[in-house]
Each structure stands twice: as structure tokens, then as C-alpha cells.
């Protein structure tokens, strides 16, 4: 890894770098099903919504953001309040450095600290690297949603993985 990495809570000052990372994935991958680049205001709104028990955090490499992660609502109905959905994004040039695992591990820690029972990961079916990352962190495959996304002129499956947290 180049530079010491610190995982910390995201701040509004981080949002331009988070936006840069996220927009890269919007335009160049199926890691997100967003199809239009987001604006700074949209990402600021996202960060403001990531308040307790949800969160947004970054992997900071001496002021250079290597990636970010978040926990957000799984569904809006009250019965789902103990389940959260995770996201992890790493700058493409930093792939293979263990940053994704560092961020996902912190995601699990925060979910436990905040009283969640389960974490759901919804991963584009053409992203086996993310599936393996989640498996290494204890997530299990619970199903595949067939051809539910359409991006880059192709239908995309979504792999659903789950980590049930101990009491």
C-alpha cells in the first residue's frame, strides 16, 4: 500500500473526492446501477442522509481518498430496521491493495456497533471480485435476481449476499 491508510468518518470536505470515485463507477462499470453522473449537491445529500445508525466513511491515505464505504437503509418498512445495506468503492488505481477488505471490515464493525442484525450486499453479477471480497468477510450467497438491471446495453443480474451478525 502506498501511504498509511486510515479509515475514518466521511466529512463534507471529502465529498468532492467521493463524488469523483463514484462518478467513475457510474460511467465505467456496473458496480452501481446509477447511469447519470451525480452532482456535488446529490452527494452532499447522500452524506447528510448517512447519519446514525447509518454511516459513510473513507479510506484516507495522507489526505488522498483511496475509497469509501457506507451503510444505508435496506428497506423503508419498520420491520427492516435491524437490516442495513452496504456499499464499498475503491479508486481503480488502488485496486489490489487490500483497501476494499479494510473498508468492508470496518462496515461490519460499525453495523455491529450500531445494533444491526444483518447486512445485505447487492452486487452486479458481472463483479466476481466483489463477490469474493464479501465471501472473505463472511457474507453468504442468498440468491440471484436475474436481469433486473439494464446498463451499457445489457441486462445485468444482481447477486444478493448476506452477513448475519451475532447477538
Q: For the chain, give the number of residues.
A: 167
Please tell me the CATH code under which domain 5-164 is placed.
Answer: 3.40.630.30
Is the distance from CB of 106 to CB of 10 less than 8 angstroms?
no
- Between CA 125 and CA 103 the distance in angstroms is 21
Burial bucket for residue 41 (CB in 10 Å: 0-12, 13-18, 19+): exposed
Parallel, antiparallel or unpaired: strands 140-151 and 154-164: antiparallel
pLDDT along the chain (167 residues), means of 10: 82 98 97 97 96 95 94 95 97 95 96 97 94 97 97 97 90
Task: Provide the pLDDT for residue 31.
Answer: 95
Is the distance from CB of 141 to CB of 161 less than 8 angstroms?
yes
Amino acid at each position: 500500500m502506498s501511504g498509511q491508510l486510515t479509515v475514518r468518518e466521511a466529512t463534507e470536505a471529502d465529498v468532492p473526492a467521493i463524488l469523483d470515485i463514484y462518478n467513475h463507477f457510474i460511467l465505467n462499470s456496473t458496480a452501481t446501477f446509477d447511469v447519470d453522473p451525480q452532482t456535488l449537491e446529490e452527494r452532499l445529500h447522500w452524506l447528510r442522509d448517512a447519519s446514525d445508525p447509518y454511516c459513510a466513511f473513507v479510506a484516507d491515505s495522507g489526505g488522498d481518498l483511496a475509497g469509501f464505504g457506507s451503510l444505508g437503509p435496506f428497506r423503508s418498512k419498520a420491520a427492516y430496521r435491524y437490516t442495513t445495506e452496504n456499499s464499498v468503492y475503491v479508486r481503480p488505481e488502488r485496486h489490489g491493495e487490500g483497501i476494499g477488505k479494510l473498508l468492508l471490515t470496518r462496515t461490519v464493525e460499525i453495523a455491529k456497533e450500531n445494533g444491526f442484525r444483518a447486512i445485505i450486499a447487492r452486487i452486479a453479477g458481472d463483479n466476481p471480485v466483489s463477490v469474493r471480497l464479501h465471501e472473505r468477510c463472511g457474507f453468504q450467497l442468498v440468491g440471484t435476481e436475474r436481469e433486473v438491471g439494464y446498463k451499457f446495453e445489457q441486462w445485468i443480474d444482481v447477486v444478493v449476499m448476506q452477513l448475519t451478525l451475532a447477538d
